[in-house]
Amino acid sequence: MTNPELGFVGIGKMGALMGQRLIDAGHKLTVFDTDRSAVELAVKGGAVAAKSARDVADASDIVFASLPTPDILQSAALGDGGLVQGSRMRVFVDVSTTGPRVAKIVAEGLAKRMSSPWIAR
């Protein structure tokens, strides 16, 4: 992948810092968070706002997630309007601290529905 488009779901305290570093390194970054003020801050820093996790996966080759709970991660990745329904994402990088059980569920769910996914944890 040359010049992959990047996305980020969950741009709260941790995700915002990671996302801003990607922008500062010269990457275009599409972001989503349920907290609109977090999205507005990211847009002020150079990000592009998405309306859902799926929209991030439609716009991005590589998607990062930094989410606070196992249920939220699972929903954002596999739920209605989630990453798994996106058309472009090929790499998923989960930097959440939700544990190996949920990481396995998400990885298996994405692998079943995506063509040739590469999932990093």
The domain that holds 22 is classified in CATH as 3.40.50.720
Smallest Cα–Cα separation from 31: which of 13, 3, 57, 70? 57
Q: Is residue 79 situated within a structural domain?
A: yes
Look up the pTM and report it. Answer: 0.91
- Per-residue pLDDT tens over the stretch 20-45: 999 999 999 999 999 999 999 999 99
Burial (CB < 10 A; 0-12, 13-18, 19+), residue 26, is exposed
Q: Is residue 1 situated within a structural domain?
A: no
- Per-residue pLDDT tens over the stretch 51-89: 999 999 999 999 999 999 999 999 999 999 999 999 999
Q: In angstroms, rounded to a whole number, what is the distance separating the alpha carbons of residues 102 and 104?
A: 5
Q: Are strands 62-65 and 91-94 parallel, antiparallel or unpaired?
A: parallel
pLDDT band at 115 (very low <50, low <70, confident <90, very high): low
Q: Is residue 41 situated within a structural domain?
A: yes
Structural domain total, the chain: 1
Q: In angstroms, rounded to a whole number, what is the distance separating the alpha carbons of residues 85 and 73?
A: 15
Q: Is residue 47 situated within a structural domain?
A: yes
Contact 44, 72 (CB under 8 A): no
15: domain range? 6-120
